[in-house]
Structure 1
Amino acid sequence: MSSLAPVLITVYDRLDCLQNAIASLKTNNECNKTDLYIVSDYAYQEEHKKIISQIREYIKNIKGFQKVEGIFWDHNKGSFNSAQDAMKYLFSKYDKVIFFEDDILVSNRFLEYMNNALEFYKDDQRIISIASHRHHKIKIPKEYPYDVFLLKIYSPWGSAIWKDRYESIDWELKDVDSFLKDKEQIKAFNNISTHMLPILLDMLNKKKKYGDAIICYNMLKSKRYTLFPIEPLSVNRGHDGRGEHCVEDIELQNQVLAMDFYPSLTKNLPYDTTIGKMHHKVFYSFRRDFLEPFLKKIYLYRPLRFLKKQIEKIIFPRKKFWKSY
């Protein structure tokens, strides 16, 4: 078995994205010493069967790695269960895993960084995962002295995690009801990033599971961090309107990879509050986080929303407005 972490990639019906992801991964010198696993979920619609068959045939013919194994489900599991069952399979064989979805591109030093960081920080229990992406709106201060930083949030756009950290996650959110009644805990969650609570509530209301929301919730409860590089060693190309959870975003879609960049790793890395606040600001929404709560507090939210719908019906009589929440 390779001493390097295996790589797991998830895919559904985007053959072109997967091909681009594999091409980017092959720019890494460590490929021929790396085990590659690709999990392919089964079709949930009849018209998807053809492309999924083509994707699986492509996976069977991938070369350039120490080992390539396709994990092909014979029924549709959905994105969360497909990925989680594949992770469980890998953790029955390995004690660490590098993971990303098919719409991610990685730099030529991605594997070097991920593997070295997994080894370097394996005994630092403050750190739950290693991330390779850095949001383009986070501007690292010039006086910041390190090549890596900590955030109290998980990033799935290129991630690495140890078996012990993964198995410590409460995927069932057993105490979430008491959490939602605790104003101090809610405030602490919102202080990290205001977009995570709405995602968590949406997940609970729809009785679905979103891996990043569950991990972020667990990070808050266990007071853990994710390690990030100051330059992006992976970028997301799923903001073209085809991704399951990604809206169209030109800036993110065109974010440039930091090729040839390798971050120096630092022991006992301190949490930087300036970068933490910057991350919070990136995901802050005036409408969602201030205006709507304020209108609800003074009992004007529903009347104004009703009035807005009536005006829309008058101005756009032929357009059907769907209830969004």
Structure 2
Amino acid sequence: MTQFKLTTPVVLIIFNRPDTTAKVFEAIRKVKPLQLFVIADAPRLDRYGEVERCMAARKIIDQVDWNCEVLTNYSEKNLGCRERIYNGLNWVFSLVESAIILEDDCVPHLTFFRFCEELLERYRNDERIMAISGDNFQFGNNPIESSYYFSRYPHCWGWATWRRAWKNYDNQMQLWSKLRGSKWLENILQNSRAVQYWSEIFQKNYQGFNSWAYAWTFACWNYHGLTILPKVNLVSNIGFGQGATHTSSINKFANMSVEEMIFPLTHPPSIIRNIPADNFTEKTMFSGGLQIQNVHCKVCGSISHKFDNAKVLNKYNVDYFQCSNCGFVQTENPYWLGEAYTEAIASSDVGLVSRNQNFSLITENLILNFFNANDKFLDYGCGYGLFVRMMRDLGLDFYGYDKYCQNIFYQGWEGEINREQKYEIVTAFEVFEHFINPLAEIEKILQQTRNILFSTKLLPPDNPRPNDWWYYALEEGQHISIFNKKALSVIAQKFKLNLCSDGESLHLLTEKSLSNSEFHSIFRIGRYKPEKRKESLTEVDYEKVTEKKLKNQQQLTELDSENIAERKSKNWQLLDFKVLIDGVFFQINNTGIARVWKSLLEVWSKDSFAKNILVLDRAKTAPKIPGIKYRVIPGYNYGRIDADRQILQQICDEENADIFISTYYTTPILTPSIFMAYDMIPEVLAKNLDNPSWQEKHR
């Protein structure tokens, strides 16, 4: 700290506590800001001794003994905390572009000031960032490698911001009247308890509760703003207890110890919100404090009583509730799901392939015997799409839908979820236990069909607790809804459907009237006349794919006859779009596809098309070709596919990419992508270029 010279203005907000004000002032004195703004409210005349305490607090400011411009904004009448800070910060940001802000009970570590100043400069023009805070309330949980992370929570016990961000603050929260009846909070929080909690907070604040901080949170969320939080706690709030405005009771956030921030700062590789850290904050600091003992059943609406408590993901103590009427078991609001789904497919799901093989034969049997086999079908929550591919190979026109998982096996056969598209049957294997709101999800599926074939293990008759039954899958944290036969019957009755079940794991909600014996017959594989079986779609699908490739080739041939070189050059000049190419294969394996891409880049580098290209250089492994632009990004990690997709989407957003070209199983979440798989590499196939099958597949 001896070499650091603070140039950022500091704001000190004081009121009636000279004792705490003196401690904060001492911290400010040690860094000697060149500008000090002081905001003070007037005393409340009906409070004994407050006039003297307010004057004593203001007197401390007279102790400035360094080269400093002191600007004061002292109210002549009491405005209250919310109005005083609102007006005061408006005054500050009418004079300066950015500032570090401390209230009279927030004592910072000296490295807090440098932390704020460096990041104020780094993110000065990045409107995604609305604040920088010195607060860390993780208590050692969710450790990070970088010096800070990004959060939705704008903690304000020692913080900093810019004029560009503060201008979004609305002290009256006028937009709340329009947003409170919408899905706005649900879309942000995705947690019903948190939605209830924050809805009550914002409504209370809208009606006049004396807190500017909640109105600031509302502004940050409304503008999708993130706050930077440090990896260690840099500020201690010493103002809890008697005399405090909003923190009158002592709790674990009071008088927290502070630590030194190490410089130079280690910056995160991309701007992505830390979901596990935010979930922990929501759980421990906000809505998790409601201590709800009984909840309403998500299936029948009856009271559900606390059933048990178990450790999820080996770290979170989670309450389980069981319905007193239908027996359905649900967890408390699953704040940990962001962490549980770092991988879309649980690593413990070792039976995935054999299970899909078994389900494919059972589903074929059901369709051929009782449904229209010439119609379309959808696999909901299809994961990588293995089941979809199996069903198409059996001749049934299946499509897949999964909004979380990477499409590997059903490219070209993505299903649509809308009211117009209908399916004869929707399958949902090992999906129901993942539903946060089962009825809403089932209703969504029923917009597509009146027949749902699904699998989920039913709670055994002896009603085992989470630690006594493997299907709760505590170590994965994804099974949050556990059904029994009665709960499924309630669902069937609600949607006016019939329920067929094997009593253990496979079930059918249907508008058809099937007897138990008819439903159980589907488990006897092959129980249909041979002539009923459909011809495999494998060859048809192959022809469809190759026909598309051939059509593309014909278009290129037509361009050849029109002087393709001249036309291409002219088109590149007219088009203004950006192509991101993931150079992951330069990192993973220097084989065929790496050579192909190197050759392509060398050709494009000599063309005006090069200005449209940006190559993502994984861990600095891409060959540097003059004329080609590069962006260095972290190396690819096989174990973090979904995190990698988030990072790629972030980069696509930052670079305004129009299309993403993948050279491996790496694609962003939303940006349109072209996928070139590794099976183009003859070395991987153990083939050579003269092999007929390789030539046919890639001609």
Q: Give TM class, smaller chain.
A: 0.7 to 0.9
Work out the CA distance in 2 between the residues paired with 1:122 and 1:247: 35
Structure 2 runs not aligned, ≥5 long: 305-699
Structure-2 change in CA distance of 1:113 and 1:208 (3 Å)? same
Work out the CA distance in 2 between the residues paired with 1:55 and 1:145: 40
2:43 aligned partner, one-letter code: A
Match of 1:41 in 2: 41
**Does residue 233 of structure 1 match 2:234?**
yes
SS of 1:26's equivalent in the other structure is helix
**Does residue 166 of structure 1 match 2:166?**
yes
Q: 192-201 vs 78-87, which deviates more?
A: 192-201
Deviation at 1:52, TM superposition (A): 1.5
The number of aligned residues is 291
Q: 233-242 vs 89-98, which deviates more?
A: 233-242
Match of 2:223 in 1: 222
Match of 1:137 in 2: 139
Work out the CA distance in 2 between the residues paired with 1:65 and 1:293: 60
2:13 aligned partner, one-letter code: T
Deviation at 1:260, TM superposition (A): 5.3
Q: Do the aligned residues in 2 keep the contact of 1:138 with 1:275 (CA within 8 Å)?
A: no
**Does residue 156 of structure 1 match 2:156?**
yes
**Does residue 58 of structure 1 match 2:57?**
no
1:110 to 106, 109, 112: 112
Q: Do the aligned residues in 2 keep the contact of 1:138 with 1:278 (CA within 8 Å)?
A: no
Match of 1:254 in 2: 255
Q: Do the aligned residues in 1 keep the contact of 2:83 with 2:212 (CA within 8 Å)?
A: no
Work out the CA distance in 1 between the residues paired with 2:286 and 2:9: 35
Deviation at 1:210, TM superposition (A): 2.2
1:187 aligned partner, one-letter code: E
Q: Do the aligned residues in 2 keep the contact of 1:117 with 1:265 (CA within 8 Å)?
A: no
Structure-2 change in CA distance of 1:35 and 1:42 (3 Å)? same
Work out the CA distance in 2 between the residues paired with 1:126 and 1:289: 34
1:96 aligned partner, one-letter code: S
Match of 1:86 in 2: 88
1:71 aligned partner, one-letter code: N
Structure-2 change in CA distance of 1:293 and 1:242 (3 Å)? farther
Deviation at 1:181, TM superposition (A): 0.9
Work out the CA distance in 2 between the residues paired with 1:261 and 1:197: 38
1:252 aligned partner, one-letter code: F
Match of 1:6 in 2: 9
Deviation at 1:131, TM superposition (A): 0.6
Work out the CA distance in 2 between the residues paired with 1:92 and 1:284: 33
Q: Do the aligned residues in 1 keep the contact of 2:11 with 2:36 (CA within 8 Å)?
A: yes
Work out the CA distance in 1 between the residues paired with 2:69 and 2:175: 40
Matches within 5 A, 1:286-325: 288=290, 290-291=292-293, 294=296
Deviation at 1:105, TM superposition (A): 0.4
Work out the CA distance in 2 between the residues paired with 1:120 and 1:208: 35
Match of 2:552 in 1: none
2:18 to 6, 15, 33: 15
Deviation at 1:99, TM superposition (A): 1.0
Task: Determine which structure has the larger helix proportion and give its number.
Answer: 1
Q: Do the aligned residues in 1 keep the contact of 2:180 with 2:199 (CA within 8 Å)?
A: no
Work out the CA distance in 1 between the residues paired with 2:292 and 2:130: 31
Work out the CA distance in 1 between the residues paired with 2:235 and 2:245: 19
2:185 aligned partner, one-letter code: I
Once the two structures are superposed, what CA deviation does each residue of 1:16-62 show, in whole Å capped at 9, x if it has no partner?
0000111122333xx2x431122121111253112212222222233
Q: Do the aligned residues in 2 keep the contact of 1:27 with 1:107 (CA within 8 Å)?
A: no
SS of 1:51's equivalent in the other structure is helix
Deviation at 1:277, TM superposition (A): 1.9
Structure-2 change in CA distance of 1:159 and 1:22 (3 Å)? same
Q: Do the aligned residues in 1 keep the contact of 2:35 with 2:70 (CA within 8 Å)?
A: yes
Structure-2 change in CA distance of 1:260 and 1:154 (3 Å)? closer
Deviation at 1:290, TM superposition (A): 4.1
Q: Do the aligned residues in 1 keep the contact of 2:136 with 2:231 (CA within 8 Å)?
A: yes
Q: Do the aligned residues in 1 keep the contact of 2:81 with 2:212 (CA within 8 Å)?
A: no
Q: Do the aligned residues in 1 keep the contact of 2:34 with 2:67 (CA within 8 Å)?
A: yes
Match of 2:529 in 1: none
Structure-2 change in CA distance of 1:14 and 1:21 (3 Å)? same
Matches within 5 A, 1:199-214: 199-205=201-207, 207-214=208-215
**Does residue 176 of structure 1 match 2:179?**
no
Q: Determine which structure has more spread, i.e. the larger CA radius of gyration.
A: 2
Structure 1 runs not aligned, ≥5 long: 301-325
Structure-2 change in CA distance of 1:292 and 1:60 (3 Å)? farther
Work out the CA distance in 2 between the residues paired with 1:236 and 1:289: 25
Deviation at 1:224, TM superposition (A): 1.5
Work out the CA distance in 1 between the residues paired with 2:248 and 2:12: 21
Match of 1:187 in 2: 186
1:257 aligned partner, one-letter code: V
Deviation at 1:70, TM superposition (A): 2.8
Deviation at 1:136, TM superposition (A): 4.7
Match of 1:310 in 2: none
TM-score between the two structures when normalised by the length of structure 1: 0.80
**Does residue 280 of structure 1 match 2:282?**
yes
Work out the CA distance in 2 between the residues paired with 1:281 and 1:271: 16
TM-score between the two structures when normalised by the length of structure 2: 0.39
Structure-2 change in CA distance of 1:260 and 1:128 (3 Å)? closer
Greater RCO (Cα-Cα under 8 Å, separation 6 or more): 1
State the percentage of identical aligned residues.
14
Work out the CA distance in 2 between the residues paired with 1:275 and 1:136: 7
1:101 aligned partner, one-letter code: E
Q: What is the alpha-carbon root mean square deviation over aligned residues?
A: 2.8
Q: Do the aligned residues in 1 keep the contact of 2:205 with 2:215 (CA within 8 Å)?
A: no
SS of 1:252's equivalent in the other structure is coil
Q: Do the aligned residues in 2 keep the contact of 1:136 with 1:255 (CA within 8 Å)?
A: no
Work out the CA distance in 1 between the residues paired with 2:125 and 2:66: 32
Match of 1:25 in 2: 28
Work out the CA distance in 2 between the residues paired with 1:231 and 1:10: 24
Deviation at 1:113, TM superposition (A): 0.9
Deviation at 1:100, TM superposition (A): 1.8
1:114 aligned partner, one-letter code: C
**Does residue 265 of structure 1 match 2:264?**
no
Once the two structures are superposed, what CA deviation does each residue of 1:273-306 show, in whole Å capped at 9, x if it has no partner?
22222222223556737447649x7699xxxxxx
Structure-2 change in CA distance of 1:65 and 1:130 (3 Å)? farther
Deviation at 1:112, TM superposition (A): 0.9
